[in-house]
Amino acid sequence: MKSSHLDNIPSTPGKFKMDKPNYNHRFRWHYSYLAKLTFWSFVFLGLIFVFFFKSPPSSSISSDLSRRSLKTRSWGGPDWEKRVKSSSKIRSKNGFSVLVTGAAGFVGTHVSAALKRRGDGVLGLDNFNDYYDPTLKRARQALLERSGIYIVEGDINDAVLLKKLFEVVQFTHVMHLAAQAGVRYAMQNPKSYVHSNIAGFVNLLEICKNANPQPAIVWASSSSVYGLNTKVPFSEKDRTDQPASLYAATKKAGEEIAHTYNHIYGLSLTGLRFFTVYGPWGRPDMAYFFFTKDILKGKSIPVFESVNHGTVARDFTYIDDVVKGCLGALDTAEKSTGSGGKKKGAAQLRIFNLGNTSPVSVSDLVSILEKLLKVKAKRRVMKLPRNGDVPFTHANISFAQREFGYKPTTDLQTGMKKFVRWYVSYYGSRKKSDH
Ligand SMILES: O=C(O)[C@H]1O[C@H](OP(=O)(O)OP(=O)(O)OC[C@H]2O[C@@H](n3ccc(=O)[nH]c3=O)[C@H](O)[C@@H]2O)[C@H](O)[C@@H](O)[C@H]1O
């Protein structure tokens, strides 16, 4: 709670003993006090005088403070606000105005472009961190800029920036894709997962809950929440209390946090459990991506297998299918019911699997890449390390199918062909030092 003058009043007034005043002493004290007060008043008035004549006029002290704090950041000012508004402007009937966090990321770029294409207003937000090559993020940004999408450079933990964005634009939806991804990296940098996937998410929800109107939120959870679940295919109703990595644990925590904000504040929240999404403009930390790079370089690649030479498999899902799922989730998201931090009624709370329902072994993935690249891979088969990986994933997608007609249509062979074509053209046209 904010502290106020009420905090200075003793809690039990009857017990607080007041001393009788000594008038002589009081007079002397008053005299020296008045002299000091006059001196400091002059100093203070002088400072105000200098301040007003040296600084440009402003409508209020608070707006001036915010303007000054904006100056120290990479955002703010009238031109910036104009760009933010123009990017978020709805250009179709019944369109949305969507804030896409993680817009320079893999899924974020594709979703932003798809929304813009159909006439929705899209504003991106991304911190352009260096978890993987930021050049690729900048190239995605340039791509989006060409279609009129502006990406604000900032972190989801920056409450002042988020608040400002909601002051400038009345977003109808938030597509929250900013996250610390990667299952294995969580052992190297655990704090980054807590920072982005938990603290950042809570910060965003705090801003959304206070917004008026509150936006509906669709956000990226992960297939990894199924952890050591052995019941296949994975259904949304299955247990998700055995995460195998800190990444999975933070995504699971996100699902619980979503429940809380839905329950207390009436925020409409939809979590999407993505299953190993791949495709053009993908993430270089993912196996299919660095396998491609290393196969082309003639380097060996570590191919994991489970106990007793069992296969390790993933329900690899092509980006275009996932984008359709994201748009379907946005389109069927009901409005949040609260406003200005107060719940007005029950709101929608959903979780969907967005997978391909057709798991492929890592070994088969490598064979597909060998064929497409026309290079034999140097496989280094090794036991699945105990660093957060799970042996397999397999999505049951019937819920998403029922709710918004989600139906993936791209098999791994077809999708990888598109990825390899992009990879060769993207890196082929770049200097060696870029990659
Ligand atoms: O669905 C998700 O929610 C997650 O999907 C993705 O995780 P994963 O499914 O683990 O993808 P990825 O690392 O590409 O490994 C693919 C396969 O290659 C195997 N693998 C991996 C590395 C290696 O050196 N060798 C190997 O065989 C490995 O064992 C695995 O079987 C996202 O990265 C993650 O951010 C999250 O979104």
Tens digit of each residue's pLDDT (9 = 90 or more) over 260-273 = 999 999 999 999 99
172 vs 328: CA distance, rounded Å? 15
Our answer on whether the CB atom of 312 is closer than 6 Å to any ligand 1 atom is yes
Q: Which two tokens stand for residue 335?
A: 């409005």
Q: Which residues are within 8 A (CB) of 124 and not within 5 positions of it... i.e. 6 or more apart?
A: 87, 100, 101, 103, 104, 108, 112, 141, 144, 149, 150, 151, 152
Query: In the prediction, which pLDDT does 73 show?
Result: 73
Helix (H) or strand (E) holding 70: helix 61-71
Q: What is the pLDDT of residue 22?
A: 42
Complex-level ipTM: 0.99
Detail the DSSP E strand segments found in 104-148.
121-126
Residue 364 structure tokens: 């088969």
Q: Is the CB of 186 under 6 A from ligand 1?
A: no
From first to last of its 435 residues, the chain has per-residue pLDDT tens of: 333 332 333 333 333 333 333 434 443 444 455 455 555 555 545 444 444 334 333 333 334 444 444 456 779 999 999 999 999 999 999 999 999 999 999 999 999 999 999 999 999 999 999 999 999 999 999 999 999 999 999 999 999 999 999 999 999 999 999 999 999 999 999 999 999 999 999 999 999 999 999 999 999 999 999 999 999 999 999 999 999 999 999 999 999 999 999 999 999 999 999 999 999 999 999 999 999 999 999 999 999 999 888 999 999 999 999 999 999 999 999 999 998 889 999 999 999 999 999 999 999 999 999 999 999 999 999 999 988 899 999 999 999 999 999 999 999 999 999 999 999 999 997 655 556
Q: Is the CB of 391 under 6 A from ligand 1?
A: no
What was the pLDDT predicted at 58?
34
Q: What is the pLDDT of residues 74-125, one digit of tens each?
A: 799 999 999 999 999 999 999 999 999 999 999 999 999 999 999 999 999 9
**Ligand 1 geometric centre to CA of 381 (Å):** 15
DSSP-H helix ranges across 169-314: 190-193, 201-210, 246-265, 287-297
Rg (the chain; Cα; Å) = 27
Burial bucket for residue 213 (CB in 10 Å: 0-12, 13-18, 19+): middle
User: From ligand 1's centre to the CA of 279, what distance in Å?
Assistant: 14
Ligand 1 pocket check for 419: Cβ under 6 Å: no
pLDDT of residue 51: 40
For residue 312, the ligand 1 atom closest to its alpha carbon is 31
Q: Three-state SS for 395?
A: strand
Q: Which residues pair with 255 in a beta bridge?
A: none
Distance from the alpha carbon of residue 233 to the mean position of ligand 1, in angstroms: 18
For helices 412-428 and 287-297, give the axis angle rounded to 10 degrees: 60
Residue 127 burial (CB < 10 Å; 0-12/13-18/19+)? buried
Phi, psi of 217 (to 5 degrees): -120, 130
Q: Rounded to two decimals, what is the model's pTM?
A: 0.85
Residue 59 pLDDT? 33
Indicate the top mutation candidate among 247, 294, 362, 363 to test ligand 1's pocket, ranked by most ligand atoms within 8 A of CB. Answer: 362
Between the two ends of the chain, the Cα-to-Cα distance in Å is 51
Is residue 73 classed as helix, strand or coil in its secondary structure? coil
Sign of CA dihedral 273, 278, 284, 287: positive
Burial class (CB in 10 A: 0-12, 13-18, 19+), 64: middle
Task: Report yes or no: 372 and 295 within 8 Å, Cβ to Cβ.
Answer: no
Q: How far apart are CA 103 and CA 121, in angstroms?
A: 13
- pLDDT given at position 36: 57
Q: Give the whole-angstrom CA distance, residue 157 versus residue 154.
A: 8
Distance between CA 171 and CA 166 in Å, rounded?
A: 7
Q: What is the DSSP string of 323-356?
A: HHHHHHHHHHPPPP--BTTB--S---EEEEEE--
> Does residue 362 have its Cβ closer than 6 Å to ligand 1?
yes
DSSP code, position 434: G
Place of tokens 């092509």: 318
Among residues 265, 295, 291, which one has the least CA distance to residue 278? Answer: 291
CA distance 254 to 263: 14
The atom of ligand 1 lying closest to the CA of 314 is: 31
